Structure 1
Amino acid sequence: MTATRYLEPGLATRVSNKMVQQLTKLGVSVWGSRVLMVRGRKSGAVREVPVNLLPFEGKQFLVAPRGETQWVRNLRVAGEGQLRVGNRVQAFTYRELPDDEKPAVLRSYLKRWKFEVGVFFDGVDADAPEAKLRDIAPGYPVFEILAA
């Protein structure tokens, strides 16, 4: 697994994401969904994408199951973003987790959303040994959400 792992979404995923994004904008969070708003690193325009916000051990995390996505790259350059549900908008900064801190968060993420994102984890699930989660960690960016 490399740090440049990226799985581009297909048509079905893009359509599904649009529906989740619209519901979330209307105030209906689908299993913890939020609309991530972050400035584009090239255009400067605000980009929006639905994400799953993971509450874990009193903190909140964003996990990128598809790897080095556009939203990951944009967030790294912008250094901040906003999470939206309905009219509620939470501005945030973040701390990107180093690989050795990711296994527990990845396990929790898989417990909660395996039905939705399991296909992106190549057979690794929440019951995987710690060593396996450490092996795949470099391919899955994880961000701890911090208050802005």
Structure 2
Amino acid sequence: MTETRYLKPGKSTNVFNELVAKLTKMGVSLLGSRVLTVVGRKSGEPRSTPVNLLTIDGVDYLVAARGETQWVRNLRAAGQGQLRVGRRDDTFTYRELGDDEKPAILRAYLKRWKFEVSAFFEGVDAKASDEKLREIAPGYPVFEIFTK
């Protein structure tokens, strides 16, 4: 059995996330930020966190840079979620990408948010080979988003 990759956020990250979530809810999207809301798999209560929505050729993706996060586990259990910016609240379903599909998405994600997420990729950057990105892909869940 392989160990699941998960990097737990620290206190400073939680403070930053709260600020980003407030701004995003007010309609100020920071480089594509959205507030993701998913029903908790254990509590049944809505859980929210800011995420970076990546759009490539008109297709939207969510990348879990910290690995098997709570939002990833909740999304898989719920089968759908909501993405909010300002007053706009889009319900979505998803398709989780297989590891062989991830290199181009991970590369684009690293290009767009290098300053914010590079620490979660342990030395791998947007210039990495497809082979290297495929090697790390199992630790980074990626979801293609379909808004309803």
- Match in the other structure for 1:85: 85
Alpha-carbon contact 1:40-1:74 (below 8 Å) kept: yes
Tell me, yes or no, if structure 1 residue 123 matches structure 2 residue 123.
yes
Alignment TM-score, normalising by the size of structure 1: 0.97
Residue 133 of structure 2 corresponds to residue 97 of structure 1: no
C-alpha displacement at 1:147, in angstroms?
A: 2.3
State the alpha-carbon separation in 1 of the partners of residues 59 and 103 from structure 2: 15
What is the deviation of 1:128? 0.4
Q: Which runs of 4+ in 1 moved over 3 A?
A: none
TM-score normalised by length of structure 2: 0.97
RMSD across aligned C-alpha pairs, in angstroms? 0.9
Equivalent position SS for 2:15 = helix
Residues 1-148 of structure 1 correspond to what in structure 2 (within 5 A)?
A: 4-148=4-148
- Matched positions, count: 147
* Residues 46-104 of structure 1 deviation map (CA, whole Å, 9 limit, x = unaligned): 00000000001220000000000000000000000000001100100000000000000
Classify the secondary structure of the residue corresponding to 1:94: strand
Amino acid at match of 1:12: S
CA distance in 2, matches of 1:3, 1:119: 20
**Aligned mates of 2:58, 2:82 — CA distance in 1:** 19
Post-superposition CA distance 1:7-53 (Å, at most 9, x none): 00001101000000000001100110000010000000000000000
Kept in 2, the 8 Å contact 1:118–1:125? The answer is: yes
Q: Does the 8 Å CA contact 1:81/1:92 hold for their aligned counterparts?
A: yes
Q: In the aligned structure 1, how far is the partner of 2:104 from the partner of 2:58?
A: 13
CA–CA distance in structure 1, aligned partners of residues 59 and 87 of structure 2: 22
Stretches of structure 2 that go unaligned for 5 or more consecutive residues are none
Whole-Å Cα distance in 2 between the matches of residues 103 and 26 of structure 1? Answer: 33
Question: 1:3, 1:68 within 8 Å by CA — same for their partners in 2?
Answer: no
| Amino acid in structure 2 at the alignment position of 1:79 | G
